[in-house]
Amino acid sequence: YLTGPLVRTQNFVLNERQLPPQAWVWPCEIVVEIAGRPREAVPHYLPGQNPFVREFADRYGIPLEAAMGGAETMYPEYMLKLRRSETPHH
Protein backbone atom coordinates (compact mmCIF):
# COMPACT_ATOMS: atom_id res chain seq x y z
CA TYR A 1 0.00 0.00 0.00
CA LEU A 2 2.53 2.62 1.07
CA THR A 3 5.79 2.97 -0.84
CA GLY A 4 7.46 4.88 1.99
CA PRO A 5 7.02 5.68 5.66
CA LEU A 6 3.86 7.53 6.68
CA VAL A 7 4.81 10.52 8.82
CA ARG A 8 1.95 12.02 10.79
CA THR A 9 2.29 15.23 12.74
CA GLN A 10 -0.06 17.46 14.67
CA ASN A 11 0.24 21.06 15.73
CA PHE A 12 -1.74 22.43 18.62
CA VAL A 13 -2.61 26.05 19.30
CA LEU A 14 -3.75 27.39 22.66
CA ASN A 15 -7.27 28.79 22.39
CA GLU A 16 -7.55 31.56 24.95
CA ARG A 17 -11.23 32.16 24.20
CA GLN A 18 -13.40 30.47 26.80
CA LEU A 19 -15.86 27.95 25.38
CA PRO A 20 -19.19 26.98 26.93
CA PRO A 21 -19.07 23.74 28.99
CA GLN A 22 -21.10 21.77 26.42
CA ALA A 23 -18.54 22.56 23.68
CA TRP A 24 -15.73 20.38 25.07
CA VAL A 25 -16.43 17.75 22.40
CA TRP A 26 -17.76 17.91 18.87
CA PRO A 27 -21.56 17.73 18.65
CA CYS A 28 -21.51 14.27 17.07
CA GLU A 29 -23.69 11.27 17.58
CA ILE A 30 -23.09 7.61 16.86
CA VAL A 31 -25.22 6.19 14.06
CA VAL A 32 -25.37 2.93 12.15
CA GLU A 33 -23.85 3.77 8.77
CA ILE A 34 -25.36 0.86 6.83
CA ALA A 35 -28.34 -0.83 8.44
CA GLY A 36 -28.36 -4.60 8.27
CA ARG A 37 -24.62 -5.03 7.70
CA PRO A 38 -23.04 -7.49 10.13
CA ARG A 39 -20.77 -5.84 12.71
CA GLU A 40 -17.72 -7.81 11.51
CA ALA A 41 -18.23 -6.97 7.81
CA VAL A 42 -15.49 -4.91 6.15
CA PRO A 43 -16.45 -3.12 2.92
CA HIS A 44 -13.95 -3.97 0.18
CA TYR A 45 -13.38 -4.70 -3.50
CA LEU A 46 -11.34 -7.66 -4.65
CA PRO A 47 -8.34 -6.84 -6.90
CA GLY A 48 -9.52 -5.85 -10.36
CA GLN A 49 -13.16 -5.40 -9.30
CA ASN A 50 -13.22 -1.80 -8.03
CA PRO A 51 -15.58 0.09 -10.38
CA PHE A 52 -14.27 3.43 -9.06
CA VAL A 53 -10.54 2.88 -9.66
CA ARG A 54 -10.44 5.52 -12.43
CA GLU A 55 -12.60 8.09 -10.64
CA PHE A 56 -9.76 10.22 -9.18
CA ALA A 57 -7.63 10.11 -12.34
CA ASP A 58 -10.56 11.02 -14.58
CA ARG A 59 -11.75 13.84 -12.32
CA TYR A 60 -8.36 15.54 -12.33
CA GLY A 61 -7.32 14.61 -15.87
CA ILE A 62 -4.20 12.68 -14.88
CA PRO A 63 -2.99 9.28 -16.07
CA LEU A 64 -4.13 6.33 -13.95
CA GLU A 65 -0.48 5.32 -13.56
CA ALA A 66 0.23 8.68 -11.88
CA ALA A 67 -2.82 8.44 -9.62
CA MET A 68 -1.90 4.96 -8.41
CA GLY A 69 1.90 5.23 -8.63
CA GLY A 70 2.98 5.84 -5.05
CA ALA A 71 5.60 8.17 -3.62
CA GLU A 72 7.63 8.61 -6.82
CA THR A 73 4.72 10.44 -8.45
CA MET A 74 5.12 13.49 -6.20
CA TYR A 75 8.49 14.47 -7.66
CA PRO A 76 8.87 16.60 -10.83
CA GLU A 77 11.09 13.94 -12.43
CA TYR A 78 8.08 11.65 -12.64
CA MET A 79 6.60 13.84 -15.39
CA LEU A 80 9.56 12.91 -17.60
CA LYS A 81 8.87 9.23 -16.96
CA LEU A 82 5.24 9.72 -18.02
CA ARG A 83 6.28 11.51 -21.21
CA ARG A 84 8.60 8.63 -22.13
CA SER A 85 5.89 6.08 -21.44
CA GLU A 86 4.39 4.55 -24.56
CA THR A 87 1.21 3.42 -22.84
CA PRO A 88 -1.97 5.45 -23.37
CA HIS A 89 -3.09 7.49 -20.37
CA HIS A 90 -6.80 6.65 -20.59
Predicted confidence (pLDDT) per residue in 44-62, tens digit: 999 999 999 999 999 999 9
Q: Which residues contact 67 (CB under 8 A, 6 or more apart)?
A: 56, 57, 60, 73
Question: What does the longest C-alpha to C-alpha distance in the chain come to?
Answer: 62
pTM, two decimal places: 0.53
Q: What is the pLDDT of residue 90?
A: 56
DSSP helix/strand/coil, 40: coil
Q: Which residues of 23-59 are buried (b: 16+ CB within 10 A; e: fewer)?
A: eeeeeeeeeeeeeeeeeeeeeeeeeeeeeeeeeebee
Q: Read off the pLDDT band of 38 (50, 70, 90).
A: confident
Task: Tell me the C-alpha to C-alpha distance, in Å, between residue 38 and each of 30, 33, 47, 85.
Answer: 17, 11, 23, 45
